[in-house]
Each structure stands twice: as structure tokens, then as C-alpha cells.
Chains A and B, each alone.
Chain A
Amino acid sequence: MRTSRGALLRYLALRLVLIIPTVFILVSVVFFFMRVIGDPITAAQGGRLSPEQLEARRESAGYNRPVLVQYGEYLSQVVRGDFGTSFSDHRRISDVLITNGAATLELVIWALLVAFLVGIPLGRLAARFHDRIADVTIRSFAILFYAAPVFFVGLLLKLLFSSKLGWLPSSGRASTDVQLALDRQGSTTHFMIVDAIRSGNGEYIADVLKHAVLPATALGLLTAGIFIRLIRINMLETMRTDFVTAARARGVPERKVVSRHAYRNALIPVVTVMGMEIALLLGSSILTETTFEWKGIGYILSQYLLARDFVAVQGLVTAIAIVVAVSSFLVDVINALVDPRVRY
């Protein structure tokens, strides 16, 4: 037992240490890719300044120094949590990460919630009614969820539930009055739902939840499609395993076989996939956030890209890479704890 626990700790420590080269490679790739296009000042201001002004700006910002010197300085900044300041709106990227990052994280959490609530029960249902109408229907929906572009789903949801039926707001994270009231509370967490709960006002909480429904659904259905297929396949595989056959032979009722044995085992791959899904959700959030005026990292990243604000883009992409690497590590930890088949 002690040996096994020691091996687990060694495994986790190794995974933790591996984050450092992973992030280092990601940061380096982002930095050098950005420099291939040119220095950030020329990229952003090239047509607006004379060559002399441009050179002066490059010099004052240090972009006329050797790339490796700039790279070393950038690495030291990143280590200190300083991702620079954007050219286009003069905001510190660390501030952007806090304010817009919180919005994106909130959206991703809502989307995962939708994915779980939709994906897991439907996947289970599809496996339960294997190759019957319910299974075929659910599988078709799963493909549709996964294949339909998130902005298209978002547009349809908006047209139906907001424009046509008027049940839900079409955009934003809260109504104007609610957002201002939450801002007036002071010391905002930037998580709208947390701020609403802190206010203790039921109307504010309801307003924030109503605003989250459509974007969370649009983004969550994408992942739900994957979950449905994953749960279904794993449940079917598990149902064919020896221990399930043995359980049935022991007279365990079918419902218990499904819920206690097949279902629990089928959930394990979901944890693994979740790690990868976080990267997918962060990527897809650009479209969701733009569609629903959800001012998160994805939205601001698209704005900086359009402005060719490469300092901002570099900072945000680096931060996203770090988040994805850390998420992968956390998923590895959870996997190691819940899945005895993971070898370490």
C-alpha cells in the first residue's frame, strides 16, 4: 500500500514537473511565431507612422534588439506574471486576464454543466436502448451537436428563445441595471453569478442565470455531443465485460448492473476527455462570446487579433496555454485517483 501511494506521489510530481517544459515550449512557440510576422509595433502601427517615427517607437520599446534578448526578457516577465500592455487600448494584459478571464471561466463552467446535464443522461439512455429508436435518435442529435458550428447554434437559439418567444435575453452577462448594481457593491469578483449571490438579491441571481442560459447551451451542446457518444460506447463496452456478466450471473438486477457497474466505469473516460475539452471550450468561446456579447477572453482576443495587437495576443495565448497545461495536470491527478488502470 505504501509503495503504491509512493508511486502515485512520484507520478503526480513528475506530471507537475512536466508542466514546466510544456509551458516553456508553448510560450516559446507563441513568441517566435509572433516575431515571424514582424515586431508588434510595425504590425500594429505600420501604416500610421513615418519610418522615422516607427523606428523611434521600436527603439524605445526595445524591439530593435536581438530577438533572443527580447525572448529572454519576455520569459522573465511571464515568470513574474507580467504579460505586457496592449498597444491598442493601453490595458495591462494581466488586468484583461482577470476581468475577461473570469467571464470566460464562468461561461466554461456553465457550458460544462450543460454538457454534463445533457450528455451523461442521454449517453446512458442511448446505451440502455442500444440500437433502438431512442439510441439512433440520441446518436443523431449527438452528431448534430458536435458538428453544428457553435455560432450557428447560438444564432438559432437566439432567434427562437429571444427574438421570437422573448423568453430569454439575447446577449450580455446581466441586464444593465443589474450589472451596475453589482458593480456598486464594490470589490467585484468578476464572476457575475458570485457577485449576484453575494448581493443576496434573488432578482439579480435570476437575471444573471437567465443571461447564462443561451450561451451556456450553445457552447455546452458542443461538448454534450462528445459526452453522449463517449458514455454510450463505454457503457456498451463495460456491459460486455466479465465482471458485468458475473454480476448478472449473481442475480444482480439489470438496473443495478447498469447504474453501479457499467455507468460508473463509463464515467472515467469523461474525466480524461474533459481535460481536452477545456482547450476546445476555450477555443470555441471566441465564437460564443462574440455571438452573445459575453465579454470574455475569446471576445477580447478576437478584438486584439483584428487590431494586430500582437503583444496582447501573445500574452493572452500564453495565458490560455498555461491554463490548458494546468487543466491537463489536474485531469491527470483526478484520473490517477479514480482509475486504478492508470499505471504510475
Chain B
Amino acid sequence: MARPPRRAAAVAFVAVAALILSACGGKSPDDSGADTGLAQQILADAGVSTPVELKLQYNGDHYGSSSDQEYATIKSQLEATGLFKVELQQTEWVTYNQQRTTDYPVFQLGWFPDFPDADNYLTPFFSVDNFLHNGFSDDRVTELLDAERTNTDPDARNAVLAELQIELAKHMPTVPLLQGSQVAVTGLTVTGVDKTLDASFQFRFAPIVKDDDGTAVIKVGTTDKITALDPAGSYDNGSYNVHYQVYPFVLGFAPGNPSPVPDLAESCEFTNDGSTYSCTIRAGLTWANGNTLDANDVKHSYDRQLAIADENGPSSLLENLASVECPDDLTVNFNLTSPNDVTFPQVLASPVGPIVDNDVFPADALVADDDIVAANAFAGPYTITSYRVNELIEYTPNPAYVGAQGAVANGGATMKYYADESNMRLEIEQGAIDVAHRSLSPTDIQALEDGGKVNVVRGPGGEIRYIVFNLDIQPGETPEQKVAIRKAVAASIDRHELAEAVYKNTYTPLCSFVPDGLPGANTAVCDAYGGN
């Protein structure tokens, strides 16, 4: 399961103001992105009695307090058509996470990709045994999913992806709403952040510079949290951001490039009729503690992910990995269950991909954070020289690193962890930190931008927000009526209003299932139901 979007809180009065505005009329759906006439026609054609009663579940404590305003606006938009009567329901996150797949007919979900590839927005949601467990299954969609996943010709694959999204728009098991931008707030003398806010969605410290001084230490702040330094024991943004700075990967992302390139590897290729993905590891590499770093560490890392399979870990991403072989110290062969899996290189550069020191990490057990730091088991662009979990981390450049992220352009970095985004906002304003990354509220970002004391840097974002239907328990008496209701909801929502009024343009309308900026993205949903 992918990491969901972090909190993006909004001030309560904004929500109240939006409610007042919508109660006073506000913007009617017809003069914006929504198409009320189409929604009405779809429901009438399917013989659906209106208003359709929708119980819409959302969760503000996990998907951000702006969700309150987002869903109040959606309710307002849907009810303004006269076609729906919406009851909003909210529950705390753990219960929500447990019950959404079984008890909720219509619910909010956010998605942050495991890797920047169109497939990561499709297979998890629309395959037969999708993680939503929403009862969606369609033979043509399944066929197209298999085709895009194994098509090694980029142009041909994009054509399949386009057809797949048009096909999905006929069923609308989920309604895409918004696509998030990556946003970082920086001090006025900080540069290089734009180099890391790219479509790989990895926040790297390496290219950031302060005061044009290559020896200056960069102070970064975040509200993310670390679950574990051990890559087998965590699968969240906060932990992965640390992993990305300190562990090597077989393949990684060079700044500005969303396609994986060699990190530890010299080269990789499909062999054995596409059943094996074979990589040659650079010679002469060492860990920061002096241990040898070679193909045996790579095999060990993937084997232990599968062996431990921790419930907080990312081992589910290795679904297509049958085994790992190490014919010599510099060669590693990944044997695949389904051949020619074009997403496999992305998997190697994803949260399941950090390589760990086989002298420090046992094959079948997690290692405590402090033990990893004490063993200096790092070989990424940085090593950790001081560690207080979810408080403060000190990163020191690793001169031995020669991988995809390139040379470190600063004298090190610190990462401070905030419990409250308002404290992070105060500290970036006061210059106590140089960069605030994930997550300030849209209103805070706008206020900071207007204040002029800081720079706001934006980049393409992979996070998406959408509404999910459980096809088994959603309203509608027949499958045809259920499809009609989903389509009518898609036609009744004004994504532009959500992006502007709720998220102050820190999100943009999402017009299909694959977000804009990735190969294969199109506007299938807006083409069919309005909202372009």
C-alpha cells in the first residue's frame, strides 16, 4: 500500500467561510468545470430516482484538515445539482483505514506513489484483486493493465495507457479529483531546491546550497515522521526520506529525471527472455564503516525484505520478484514471476529498494535505529552523525558516494521534525530553518508567499486525491444504475473550485487516473464528464 498524503491543515475559519459562501450561492456548478446537464441525463437514462442519497466518508486527521472544507465543498456541489443528497461522515484514521474497504459505500482516499510510473496509479486500484477491495473487475481493463505492464516500447505503452484510461472512464470505479504539487518554502538565500522537486518525487538534500557557500549546513524542517531507519520496517514518507539520503539503491533518480538511472549499478538489462533483470554493480564500493559493498549486500537486502515482510514494511512491492541470485560479487540477477515487467526498474528505486550492509542487518529481523547509526551502516550521499528519532537528525556528506544523486553541494544537512506545522511556519519565517518541506497548509503557504520573507518553490506532484466507490454497497439497484451514479458524481464535481477555493492552487484538477506530468497521462475523465 502506498504512502498516503500527509496532513495539510487549514484554518477552521476558512472552512466556515467556504460554507457561508456556498450557502450564499457561490459559484454554480454549471459555470465552472462541472456538467450538471450531463449528470442529469446520465441518471435519467439509467432510470435512477433522484435525489440519490450518498453517505460520503472522509478523514481529516490523515488526509489533512483541509479535507473538511474539501468535502463540504463537494457536498455543496453535488447537492446544488439537485441530483444528490449527501451525508458527510468522518471517523478517526485507524477505524477509517480498517473499515473503508468493507463498510463505506463512498469514501475519500489519497495516494502518494511508490514510484513515478503510470502503472502505480492503475494496477493497485483497478486490477482484479485491487487493494481497495471495492468489487471492481473488468476483463478489458485487466487485459490492458497486463499489456501496459509488459510493453517495453514507450510509445506503444503510452497508447495502451491512453486506451486504458478511456476504458476506465466508462466505469468510473474511482473519481479523480485533484493532483498535488510539491511545495517547499525556503530562505531567500537558499538555492537548488528546484532541482530536487522533480517528477521523481524524491526530496534530496544533495543539490541544496545556502548563501552560495558549499560548506554551509542546510537546516530542513518537516512534519513527517520516521517509523524506522530499517528499510524493511517502514513504508512512509518520513522514513523513506531518510533512507533516500543515507542508503544506496541499485537504481536511483538523478535530479530532474523521473526515470531510474544506475546508482550502485553500472548497468542493468532484461535477460533470459525478460524473465531476469540483471545488474552489474560498481567495483570497489565500501560502506561508511569500511565494510565491502557488493552484489551480496543487494541480494541480502531483497531477501530480507521478503523474509521479514514486516506489516509496516514495503515488501508487498516485490510481488513480481521470484528470487535473487548472485553469480559473482558484482552481478545480481532478479528473477521475475512475470517477464518483461517494465515497472521493475522503478521498484528497485522505490521504498523497497534501499540496500543495507549484510554485516549489520540480520537476514530475518529488524535492526533498531540507534544500532544502525552506531554501526555507521550508510553508503548514500550522507551519513547520519547525530540521531534523535522524530526530533533532529544531523547528516554529514559521504565523500565515497558516486551514485545517481550526484555530488553533495553543501556542507551537510539537519532535519528537524515538527509536531505542528504552525511551529514550522514560524521557524522558517524567523530563519531558524532554511527549508520547510512537507507539509504546510495551503493558507500558510499563501501567507508566506505574500509576506515576501521567503521563497516558495513548486514542482510537479505525484500525490492525488479521489473518491472511491465500493461497487458492492454503493447506491443503485442494478450495475447499470451504479455506473450511472458514479458517472453523474464525476460530472457534478467542479475540480477547479476545489483547487482554488480549498487548496489555494497547491493542488490542480486531476482529469484522469494518471496524473499530469507522467508518461501516459491524458484527460479521459474531464473529456467524458467535463471539468477541463
Contact = CB atoms under 8 A, between A and B. Distances in A.
B510 to A, nearest CB: 25
> By DSSP majority rule, is chain B's interface helix, strand, loop, or mixed?
mixed
Contact of B368 (A45, A90, A306): A90
B413 to A, nearest CB: 11
Interface in B371-390: 386, 388-390
A90 B423 contact: no
B420 A291 contact: yes
Contact of B420 (A89, A91, A162, A290): A290
A172 to B, nearest CB: 8
A205 interface: no
Contacts of B99: 47
B227 interface: yes
B419 interface: yes
Contact of A295 (B311, B312, B369, B390): B390
Contacts, number: 91
Contacts of B94: 43-44, 46-47, 307-308
Interface string A296-339: 00010001001110000000000000000000000000000000
A121 B414 CA distance: 43
A170 B423 contact: yes
B175 to A, nearest CB: 22
A170 B418 contact: no
In this complex, the interface size class of chain A, counting residues with CB under 8 Å from chain B, is: 35 or more
A128 interface: no
B502 interface: no
Interface stretch (B20-28, B154-162, B424-432, B491-499): B424-432
A179 B93 CA distance: 33
Given A170-B426, A184-B386, A307-B94, A176 B392 contact: yes
Interface string A266-289: 000000000000000000000001
A57 B312 CA distance: 13
Contacts of B227: 88-90
B194 interface: no
B419 A293 contact: yes
A168 to B, nearest CB: 11
B426 A89 contact: no
Classify chain B: how many residues form its interface, as a range. 35 or more
B98 A293 contact: no
Interface string B306-345: 0000011000000000000000000000000000000000
Interface in A234-255: none
A98 B492 CA distance: 55
A175 interface: yes
Interface in B198-220: 219
Interface string B422-457: 010011011011000000000000000000000000
Contacts of A166: 430
B268 interface: no
A90 B366 contact: yes
A53 B392 CA distance: 35
B419 A290 contact: yes
A170 B228 contact: no
A28 interface: no
Contact of A180 (B93, B312, B394, B420): B394
A85 B419 CA distance: 22
Contact of B311 (A43, A48, A89): A48
A49 interface: yes
A169 B97 CA distance: 37
Contact of A162 (B225, B418, B426): B426
B120 interface: no
A162 to B, nearest CB: 6
B391 A295 contact: yes
Given A89-B226, A90-B233, A176-B392, A170 B430 contact: yes
A171 interface: yes
A290 B419 CA distance: 6
B505 interface: no
Interface centre among B93, B101, B227, B311 (most CB of A within 10 A): B311
17 contacts: A47-B94, A48-B1, A48-B97, A89-B226, A91-B389, A99-B388, A162-B430, A170-B430, A171-B423, A171-B426, A176-B416, A176-B433, A183-B386, A291-B420, A295-B388, A299-B419, A306-B93
Given A43-B94, A49-B311, A90-B230, 8 more contacts: A46-B94, A88-B312, A89-B228, A170-B423, A170-B427, A171-B423, A306-B61, A308-B94
Across the A-B interface, give the 9 residue pairs with the lowest CB-CB distance, nearest first. A47-B98, A171-B423, A47-B97, A170-B426, A46-B98, A308-B94, A183-B386, A45-B311, A295-B391
